[in-house]
Amino acid sequence: MPDEIETLREEMEATSIENEEEAEAFRIKFLGRNQGAIPALFDQIEDLPPEERPEFGRRVNALKEQAQERLDTARARLEREQQAGAADIDLTLPGRRDFQGSTHPLTQTMEEILRILRGLGFTTYEGPEIETDWHNFTALNFPPDHPARDMQDTFFLDAASEDEEPPVLRTHTSPGQIRIMQENTPPIRVAVPGRVYRNEAISYKSFCLFHQVELLYVDEGVTMAQLKQVLYSLARALFGDDVTLRFRPSYFPFTEPSAEVDVWWEDDEGEDGGQWMEILGCGMVHPNVFDSVDVDPERYTGYAVGMGVERMAMLRHGIDDIRVFYENDVRFLEQF
């Protein structure tokens, strides 16, 4: 006689459980309390001779456990499949999202500049935006009544007392040079980021305030060649290795010799296929500046650089109007 238990086992193993309906049918067919095949086997025990009962009971129990395990395993598998996205979920529905945030493009450009400069060994320092006339001008070798003061249209504030020069909104980050050299002795290698102000008519190319990063390196044996090298490294890191640069003479009261760096900006619509864009001013620290902070200009030389962050960001992203940085339209901000 075929073993009833073995037959049932084979039937059970052949029954497919590929969905919840099949799982429930399996449960009812094999394990159901009323008509299930396995509980029905238990009912047969009473009909067996007493010596066969223990062995039969043991085998039915094993079968029941096997059936339960098969059911549990299948259900667990079905649940996993459902969570992973079974065919009856619309996976094309969008996900649940939070609002998107962003940092400002000026922050991003500023951080990129500072990241490069940290790699080149520059520490960062920050100074105040309201500055004394002495830090902003006099100590930087802008003589009183000198046309050089016209180079930077200045906002003035009321003097705290009558015997003081009126403070100014700093016109550049260069007063940071003075504050650093007052507080430290060479070697000094710092970057000074910050907001500066110019009393100029507002247009697509100039705003009443903008941001600069100042560099200062003072040490023994600092040369203009080193200055050129560090600036070219910076420009290549920002604009790519194939950027075309120009290093040309200029004038700032606080550097001598002074220079400006231009990048060649390709513009297919332009007459010459592009134009030179000034990106920064720089030079070797003027001995009068060293004198004002008691650094010996015979022993030390140094270089200083000032670059405009807006200009850099405009070049990097192809922005043609400086005012959009300060409008903060979300449709602008979300692009960065």
Partner 1 sequence: MDVSYNWLNRYVEHDWSPDALAEKLTMAGLEVESVAPLGRHLDGVVVGKIEAVREHPNADQLVLCDVALGDGAPVQIACGAPNVAAGQKAPVATVGTTLSLPDPDDPDARQELTVEARELRGEPSRGMICAEDELGLSDDHSGIMVLGDDATVGQPLADYLAAHDVTPDDAVFDIDLTPNRPDATSHLGVARDVAALAGTEVQRPAVETPAAGGTAADEIDVRLEDPDGCPRYVAMLVRDVDVRPSPLWLRRRLSAIGLQPRNHVVDVTNFVLHECGQPLHAFDRRAIADDTIVVRRTDGETDFVTLDDEERTLPDDTLLICDADGPVAVAGVMGGANSEVSANTTDVLIESAYFDPSSIRRTAKALDIQTDSSYRFERGVDRDGQVWAAARAAELIAELGDGTIVPGMVDAHPDPPSPRTVALRPDRVRQVLGMDVPTDDIRRLLTAIGFDIEADEGALRCTVPTWRPDVSIEEDLIEEVARLHGYDQIPEPERVPVPSRAPTQRPSAALERQVRGLLRGKGYREIYTNSMLPTERAERFNDRPAGSKSGPVVETKNPISEEMAALRPRLLPGVLDVMQHNRNHGQEALRFFEVGHVYRRAEGGDDTLVPGYDEHPALLVGLSGPHAPTGWDTDPREADIFDLKGTVEALLDDLRLPDLTMTPRGTDDASITTHRLDVAAGDTPLGTIARVHDDVAEDFDLDAPVFVAEFNWATLVGQASPQLKRSYAAVSRFPVVDRDLAVLVPASQPVGPLQATIRDAGAPLLRRVDVFDVYEGEGIGDDEKSVAFTLRFGADRTLTDEEVDEQMAAIVDALSRHHDATLRQ
To the nearest whole angstrom, how small is the minimum distance from the Cβ of residue 94 to partner 1? Answer: 7
268 binds partner 1 (CB under 8 A): no
Question: Which of 167, 188, 202, 157 has the alpha carbon at shortest distance from 304?
Answer: 188
Question: How many residues are listed for the chain in this entry?
Answer: 336
Contact present, 206 and 310 (Cβ < 8 Å): no
Site for partner 1 in 88-107 (CB under 8 A): 93-94, 96-104, 106-107
CB atoms within 10 A of CB 304: 27
- Record the tokens describing residue 188, joined without a space: 């000094």
Dihedral (Cα; 115, 116, 120, 125), 10-degree rounding: -50
- The 3-state DSSP class for residue 262 equals strand
Minimum distance of partner 1 from residue 275's CB (angstroms): 10
> Would you say 50 or 94 has its CB closer to partner 1?
94
Per rule CB under 8 A, is residue 204 in the interface with partner 1? no
Least Å distance, CB 140 to partner 1, is 14
CB of 242 to partner 1, least distance (A): 16
Q: Give the integer Cα–Cα distance in Å for 78 and 93.
A: 22
Please, which of residues 301-330 interact with partner 1 by CB under 8 A?
301, 325-330
Among 284, 304, 307, 312, binds partner 1 (CB under 8 A): 284
Q: How far is the CB of 20 from partner 1 (least distance, A)?
A: 23
Q: Shortest approach of partner 1 to residue 79 CB, angstroms?
A: 21
Assess 147 for contact with partner 1 (CB under 8 A).
yes
Amino acid identity, position 254:
F
Sign of the dihedral through C-alpha 273, 279, 283, 289: positive
What residues between 208 and 247 interact with partner 1 by CB under 8 A? Answer: 208-209, 219, 221, 223-226, 228-230, 232, 246-247
In the complex with partner 1, the residue whose CB is nearer, 50 or 147, is: 147
Alpha-carbon distance of 181 to 252, in angstroms, equals 19
Residue 137 sits in the site that holds partner 1 (CB under 8 A):
no
State the helix-helix crossing angle for 224-239 and 105-119, rounded to 10 degrees: 130
Whether residue 249 is preceded by a cis peptide bond, meaning omega within 30 degrees of 0, is no
Residue 83 sits in the site that holds partner 1 (CB under 8 A): no
Per CB under 8 A, the list member of 126, 183, 267, 296 interacting with partner 1 is: 126
Binding-residue pattern over the window 4 to 43 for partner 1, x denoting contact by CB under 8 A? ----------------------------------------
- Amino acid, single-letter form, for residue 212: Q
Taking the complex as a whole, the smallest distance from the CB of residue 161 to partner 1 amounts, in Å, to 7
Among 14, 201, 268, 320, binds partner 1 (CB under 8 A): 201
Among residues 147 and 318, whose Cβ is nearest to partner 1? 147
| Nearest-5° Cα angle at 212, 220 to 324 | 165
* Residue 217 bridge partners (DSSP): 189, 303
Per rule CB under 8 A, is residue 333 in the interface with partner 1?
yes
